[in-house]
């Protein structure tokens, strides 16, 4: 009788240990599955975040491309060639030379013209106004999306480029303080008329 009781207790003990082992294993499996699921979620979040960053970067690059589209389509050497008409003495008898320099990094256009020594200040100023507007027209020929110049507007190219305009007699070329016109108009600023720096 005692042997049967002892045997029964032993069997129960073994079953209890087995049940505990199974429960522990089940909990471990569940924990592992939860951890795995958590890692999968984190991985997906990282991937989604990376995808968002990529989209943001692409959008930013697109915006930059849009902003640079006007400048990148202008061939300034061709504008300089077209600008030879500004030296035509049939139309501008006082003209003695014109040069253009474009800096794509700083977005600055430098326009400089020489006129005869006996040119009146009024003619020099009118010439400067013609040059600024005409350069915009030459750029417009290459890219019709650029706004054209008008009486109170120098043109769309100056929305993206600062312009420095100088007009000097041949004698005073080396002394900028004596130029008829020596003016800078910052890009995108409201219309401002060119003025005479030196009137004699």
pLDDT digits (tens, 9 = 90+) for 154-187: 999 999 999 999 999 999 999 999 999 999 999 9
- The tens digit of pLDDT for each residue in 141-154 reads 999 999 999 999 99
Place 199 in a pLDDT band, splitting at 50, 70 and 90: confident
Helices (H), the chain: 2-72, 76-82, 121-142
Regarding predicted confidence, which is higher, 45 or 175? 175
* Residue 178 near residue 117, CB atoms below 8 Å: no
Is pLDDT above 70 for 63?
Answer: no
Residues 6+ apart with CB under 8 A from 101: 109, 110
Residues 6+ apart with CB under 8 A from 104: 71
């Amino acid at each position: 009788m005692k042997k049967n009781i002892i045997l029964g207790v032993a069997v129960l003990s073994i079953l209890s240990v087995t049940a505990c082992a199974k429960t522990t294993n089940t909990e471990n499996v569940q924990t592992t599955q939860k951890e795995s699921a958590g890692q999968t979620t984190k991985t997906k979040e990282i991937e989604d975040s990376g995808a968002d960053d990529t989209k943001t970067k692409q959008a930013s690059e697109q915006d930059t491309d849009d902003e640079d589209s006007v400048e990148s389509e202008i061939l300034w050497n061709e504008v300089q060639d077209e600008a030879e008409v500004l030296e035509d003495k049939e139309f501008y008898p006082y003209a003695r030379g014109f040069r253009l320099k474009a800096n794509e990094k700083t977005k600055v256009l430098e326009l400089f013209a020489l006129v005869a020594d006996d040119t009146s200040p009024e003619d020099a100023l009118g010439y400067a106004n013609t040059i600024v507007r005409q350069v915009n027209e030459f750029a417009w020929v290459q890219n019709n999306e650029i706004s054209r110049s008008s009486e109170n507007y120098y043109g769309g190219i100056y929305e993206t480029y600062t312009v420095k305009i100088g007009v000097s007699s041949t004698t005073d070329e080396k002394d900028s303080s004596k130029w008829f016109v020596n003016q800078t108009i910052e890009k995108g600023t409201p219309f401002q008329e060119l003025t005479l720096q030196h009137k004699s």
